């Protein structure tokens, strides 16, 4: 990853006819604008519609990769494995593939650790006015969107000390510090999903030589999305889109959610034209 660098708008023209395509995307900051209340976000309607259309096409797999837990992600997005969309929740710690049952809950050790995170997190936000705690399936999030930089820094330091005491690695995001009982990454989870989809179903020799049979389209705005850009950096013909400013390992950049939405609509239109409806 280098410092913030100018990157081109993505060229996704080849993906319309890609023999096998995975379209995956981050949620907050990529499909849904930020809000102070994490449960009050509303994703871009045109982007969600385009993802539904893509999921209905042959040889096209759609996935959301998010820090949200899978149930919250399904509720807020309106997309779910029942509708053919795979969910990679809890930063990859929860994997609910389309066509499969919802994954099991936490084991007893994980549940005990999460309980300690909740107790510690509640004490921290009580000491930092204006911050609040989001309790999720696999951990907690210390939110600092509405406080001063001084309070944000203070709650982050306290969160890091809590993480150290509990023996976990804290994750930083946009005005959030998260503690999770599961160590994983979006890149790792997406790699597992793509591998599980198998090789080119048509077994075309020319295609097999060029790539293992699939192409990836992915967009994300935050630090945790970098694991996907890094994991798939060498994947042929993949489109890796950084949303907004910041250092990135992505190969293209757009400024915000309206552009992500336009790209998804353009991709759905072009792929429907090329492949026809399912
Ligand atoms: O991986 P993502 O889909 O980007 O999820 C990352 C975190 O997003 C949420 O926090 C962010 O959005 C909130 C609502 O707009 C905002 O208040 C907060 O400042 C942002 O960091 C979510 O609340 C977290 O649980 C996710 O891990």
- Do 167 and 66 reside in the same domain of the chain? no
Q: Is residue 84 part of a domain?
A: yes
Q: Is residue 95 part of a domain?
A: yes
Atom nearest to 221 CA in ligand 1: 4
Read off the tokens for 213.
């049979």
End residue of a domain, out of 121, 156, 180:
180
How many separate domains does the chain show? 2
Domain with residue 68: its CATH number is 3.40.50.1000
Q: Is residue 2 part of a domain?
A: no
- Do 94 and 194 reside in the same domain of the chain? yes
- Do 88 and 132 reside in the same domain of the chain? no
Q: Is residue 3 part of a domain?
A: no
- Do 34 and 160 reside in the same domain of the chain? no
Question: Ligand 1 within 6 A of 43 CB?
Answer: no
Q: Which pTM does this prediction carry?
A: 0.93
Question: Ligand 1 within 6 A of 68 CB?
Answer: yes
H helices then E strands: how many in the chain?
A: 8, 11
Is there a contact between 225 and 246 (Cβ–Cβ < 8 Å)?
Answer: no
Closest CA to 22 of 68, 86, 79, 78: 86
Question: Ligand 1 within 6 A of 174 CB?
Answer: yes
pLDDT of residue 198: 72
Question: Ligand 1 within 6 A of 63 CB?
Answer: no
- Do 170 and 151 reside in the same domain of the chain? yes
Q: Across-strand partners of 2? A: 248
Question: Ligand 1 within 6 A of 220 CB?
Answer: no
Mutational test site, ligand 1, from 28, 44, 226, max ligand atoms within 8 Å of CB: 28
Give the whole-angstrom CA distance, residue 92 versus residue 171. Answer: 13
- Do 173 and 194 reside in the same domain of the chain? no
Question: Ligand 1 within 6 A of 188 CB?
Answer: no
Task: Return phi, psi of residue 136, to 5°.
Answer: -120, 175
- Do 66 and 194 reside in the same domain of the chain? yes
Atom nearest to 30 CA in ligand 1: 4
- Do 48 and 86 reside in the same domain of the chain? yes
For every residue of 142-211, DSSP letters joined together read: EE-TTS-HHHHHHHHHHHHHHHHHHT---EEETTEEEEESS---HHHHHHHHHHHH-S-TT--HHHHHHS
Domain with residue 116: its CATH number is 3.30.70.1020
Question: Ligand 1 within 6 A of 67 CB?
Answer: yes
Q: What is the pLDDT of residues 120-166, one digit of tens each?
A: 999 999 999 999 999 999 999 999 999 999 999 999 999 999 999 99
Q: How large is the ipTM? A: 0.99
End residue of a domain, out of 128, 146, 180:
180
Q: How far is CA 199 from CA 12, 20, 85, 88, 211, in A?
A: 21, 9, 19, 21, 9
pLDDT of residue 278: 57
Residues of the chain by 3-state class (helix, strand, coil), percent to 5: 40, 20, 40
End residue of a domain, out of 180, 197, 227:
180
Closest CA to 181 of 114, 133, 124: 114
Read off the tokens for 45.
């309607």
- Do 171 and 233 reside in the same domain of the chain? no
pLDDT of residue 1: 57
Give pLDDT < 70 ranges for the chain.
1-3, 199-212, 277-278
- Do 192 and 163 reside in the same domain of the chain? no
Read off the tokens for 50.
């385009």
Q: In what order do the strands lie in the sheet with 85-89?
A: 94-96, 85-89, 60-65, 21-25, 215-220, 239-243, 252-254
- Do 205 and 241 reside in the same domain of the chain? yes
Structural domain for 57, as ranges: 13-104+185-275
Q: Is residue 4 part of a domain?
A: no
* Contacts within 8 Å (CB) and 24+ apart, 75-80: 76/27, 76/32, 76/39, 76/41, 76/43, 77/27, 77/31, 77/32, 77/43, 77/48, 78/43, 78/48, 79/48, 79/51, 79/52, 79/55
pLDDT of residue 236: 80
Q: Is residue 73 part of a domain?
A: yes
Is there a contact between 54 and 23 (Cβ–Cβ < 8 Å)?
Answer: yes
pLDDT of residue 4: 75
- Do 26 and 100 reside in the same domain of the chain? yes
Q: Is residue 6 part of a domain?
A: no
Q: Is residue 136 part of a domain?
A: yes
């Amino acid at each position: 990853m280098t410092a913030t660098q100018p990157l081109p708008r993505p060229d996704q023209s080849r993906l319309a006819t890609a023999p096998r395509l995975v379209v995956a995307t981050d949620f907050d900051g990529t499909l849904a604008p930020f809000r102070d209340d994490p449960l009050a976000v509303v994703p871009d309607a045109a982007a969600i519609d385009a993802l539904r259309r893509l999921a209905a096409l042959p040889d096209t797999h759609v996935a959301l990769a998010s820090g949200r837990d899978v149930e919250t992600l399904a509720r807020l997005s309106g997309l779910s494995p029942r509708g053919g969309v795979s969910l990679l929740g809890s930063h990859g710690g929860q994997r609910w593939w389309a066509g499969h049952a919802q994954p099991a809950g936490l084991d007893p050790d994980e549940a005990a650790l999460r309980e300690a995170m909740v107790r510690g997190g509640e004490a921290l936000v009580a000491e930092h006015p204006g911050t609040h705690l989001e309790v999720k399936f696999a951990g907690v999030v210390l939110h600092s969107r509405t406080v001063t930089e001084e309070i944000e820094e203070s709650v982050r330091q306290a969160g890091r000390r809590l993480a150290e005491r509990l023996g976990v690695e804290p994750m930083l995001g946009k005005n959030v510090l998260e503690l999770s009982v599961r160590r994983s990454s979006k890149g790792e989870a997406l790699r597992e999903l793509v591998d599980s989809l198998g090789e080119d179903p048509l077994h075309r020799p020319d295609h097999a030589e060029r790539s293992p049979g699939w192409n990836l389209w992915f967009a994300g705005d935050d630090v945790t999305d970098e694991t996907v850009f890094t994991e798939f950096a060498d994947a042929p013909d993949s489109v890796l889109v950084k949303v907004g400013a910041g250092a990135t390992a992505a190969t293209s950049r757009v400024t915000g959610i309206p552009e992500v939405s336009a790209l998804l609509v353009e991709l759905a239109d072009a792929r429907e034209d090329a492949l026809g409806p399912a």
